[in-house]
Amino acid sequence: MRPERRGGWQLEVAAVVLASLLALLAASRLDPLAGDIAVSFAPSPPGETLSQIVVAVVTEDTLATFPYRSPIDREFLASLVRRLDGAGAAAVGIDILLDQPSLPHKDKALFSAIDEASVPVVLAYATGADGLTDRQAAFAAKNVASRGHGLIALPRDEIDGVVRHLPLERAEHGETTRTFTQALVEAVAANRSNGGGTRSRILYGNGAQVPENGVPGPFALYPAHLIPLLPDAWFAGKIVLVGTDLPTIDRHPTPMVAGRGSAAGTIPGVIIHAHILAQRLAGLSLPASPPWLRIAASLALAGLAALALSLPFPPRRLVLLLGVGLAAYAGLAAWLVSSGTWLPPLVAPPLAALATAGLLAWRRWQTERSERAFLRLAFSRYVSPSVVERIASGRLALELGGEKRKVTYLFTDLEGFTSLSEHLEPSALTDILNPYLDEMCRLMTEHGATIDKIIGDAVVGFFGAPDDDPEQEVHAVALAIALDDFAQGYRLKITARGIHLGATRIGLHTGEAVIGNFGGSRFFDYTGIGDTVNTAARLEGANRFLGTRILMSETVAVRCPVSECRPAADLVLKGRTTPLPCFEPLAARQRDPAWQSAYRKAFAAMRAGNAEAASLFEASLRLRPDDPLALLHLRRLQAGETGATLVLEGK
């Protein structure tokens, strides 16, 4: 039975879903990394925006001037606020969390400086949701939330802990708390910062260039303890962020430095806030893909890949089509990122498309493999397996047309089978004919012949096509002897059942023929046409007149040793005008040097018109009395005929 195509569109849907699931799982780590690379091509805050931001950092040198390390001396922070206020700063953002009291007079000095400042001062703020204890949260709520403040927490990706996305404002107890940078933008711009509820990538921009000191960023950066010594002009009209640059405090991994390892792979939180502030001031945003969009895009690309694989195109064109589709997606993604419109999923959808194509291509290969196996099995029942193999592999096209080649044709026919079939029941006829044809075809295949056709009890084959065979004549003779041995043995087996089965006659001829697919548009056959084919058929029929079972032309015999064949006659076949020297191949058991020598002498004398030819044939018959050729020629000579030429009018 023909192999069934199972699944249909259901199989394609299953492949799309499975491939998308695998791609989403595999890309869970790769998509963020690919996004890190893509973000570097997104629009960056302009230089004039970056120049509006100044960063003052508390370093180890700064702490060395204090009597204690923690908390950071608030009297120092108070003096810093007054210095920046006096220098005409646009706003001050203190990225140092005030979550517990210090010395009372120092706390009072700081909060008084903040309340008395003429410039907006925004304090870092956190709640119990950020990990503060109740005591810490209460202190922050009383002393920080009552003044300008914003959430300071930086969101880290669950996958690798890298800070990639803008922090979002938070709703608690019916109130919305802005982020630290939102509060600063509102303080200087007098309007609400955009992007408060949008999950966007942080556009680190020029910060991707990391100086040797490990502190990235295009911002003016000064140690906090040196601020009193610097000119007012360096801070006038600027937004000044005050934070820490210490080895173990408030450091975070970012795409700029992720992978460098240990502390060298992190940067101060105040620098990250500076980048976020610059992005908000410039009004830039690069919305990241929500989970549902990654799933939808993966399913969409996987579905398109499945649709492409369903088209009746050759594999090379399908690969090209898939490549064009992926390139188009990559181009669209590049445009979306470079225009600052959106950061699409970069890995999962193409991976889903490739996985879908791989699954369906594997399934298609499996199906075609099954169909080729079916083709070989089914077709080999009717034509030569060598032809089937070439068709299945694509080396032999299933189209009309042929080519001229040198071939050796072999015709076989079962003598008297037509008459026998008229007297046998169909079942008995089948029991006799099928085993006979099965073994005849097996021997042909085993000897490398291409089976042309089976017509009733006749089997036709040839050597030299579809593949070249430089030894085709030798192979054809060996096959003819093998077929004769089988046929004679099969005759005896059938005779033992009381059924007379005739001899199998075989004709061989070598020459040029046009070999190819011949027929109509709906049915055609891989066969040969030309005089070579007709001559082989005529030689098979000539056996009936000569009393032989195998007859081959001189074109075949020239490749056989003299000891392995003998001349039979010079035949003028039907449709020809010139004699064709013909020979009978001899099996190993038939070769008797004495008899062969006697026969050859008699035949040579007959061909030369020598009068003693008859007596020489008689001498040959004394060595082998049942030799049909010697008997035929002796009777011809006795009837007054001369020479070795016989004219045949029939087949």
Q: What burial class does residue 581 get, using C-beta atoms within 10 Å of its C-beta: 0-12 exposed, 13-18 middle, 19+ buried?
A: middle
- Regarding predicted confidence, which is higher, 112 or 374? 112
**Closest by Cα among 490, 363, 384 to 432:** 490
Percent of the chain scoring above 90 in pLDDT: 45
pLDDT over 80 at 399, yes or no: no
The pLDDT score that the predictor gives to residue 209 is 43
Rounded to two decimals, the pTM is 0.60
pLDDT digits (tens, 9 = 90+) for 135-147: 999 999 999 999 9
Task: State residue 268's pLDDT score.
Answer: 92
> Which tokens go with 244?
């820490």
The vertex-11 CA angle with 10 and 15, nearest 5°, equals 115
Residue that wins the pLDDT comparison between 316 and 444: 444
pLDDT band, very low/low/confident/very high, at 264 (cuts 50, 70, 90): very low
pLDDT at position 214 is 44
pLDDT of residue 448: 87
Give the residue with greater pLDDT, 263 vs 466: 466
Q: Which one has a higher pLDDT value, 198 or 565?
A: 565
pLDDT in tens, 28-48: 788 888 888 888 888 888 888
How do residues 284-297 score in pLDDT, each as one tens digit?
888 888 888 888 88
Place of tokens 């399913």: 299
- Written as six digits, the tokens of 101 are 């009291």
Find out whether 460 and 453 touch, Cβ atoms under 8 Å: yes
Q: What is the pLDDT of residue 340?
A: 83
Residue 210 has pLDDT above 50, yes or no: no
Chain segment 107-135, per-residue pLDDT in tens:
999 999 999 999 999 999 999 888 899 99
At residue 263, does pLDDT exceed 50? no
Residue 394 confidence class, pLDDT cut points 50, 70, 90:
low
Task: Specify the higher pLDDT residue, 390 or 488.
Answer: 488
- Return the exposure string of 36-65: e unless at least 16 CB atoms fall within 10 Å of the residue's CB, then b: bebbeebbbbeeebbebbbbbbbeeebbee
In this predicted structure, the answer to whether residue 638 has a pLDDT above a threshold of 80 is: yes
